Amino acid sequence: MLPFLRGRVASFLPAFAGWAHVLRTQHNAWIHAAISLAVFALGFWLELGRRDWVLILLTVAQVWLAEFFNTAVEIVVDLASPEQHDLAKLAKDVGAGAVVVAATVAVIVGLLVFGPPLWARLASSL
């Protein structure tokens, strides 16, 4: 049983290495991290309900997943095509576009989820 558990724990190490690589090398990931922390803090302050938390968690995960996949696409494209190529650029642009879509949807979901309780909290303090 112990070797099985060690194997399962060890299987997560490459995933954490990938996550660390993204945080270390992708400047936009730093922005995602700061905004994620701010969103979670705001959610706790507003005492969001369970369904709102589900929406926020799924939306934050969507942005992170888009950033991870975009980074993976960039790495693979650089490996396959170290020289400048129109298709390599296009692949990178499409990956970056996916991050923009995810982030835009996150802003919209954030406004829909946080807007009413934030407005109510601010209005009650006036």
Active site residues: 67
* Tokens of residue 53, six digits: 């938390």
Burial of 63 (0-12, 13-18, 19+ CB in 10 A): buried
Apex CA 122: angle with CA 43 and CA 47, to 5°? 25
- Alpha carbon distance 61, 63 (integer Å): 5
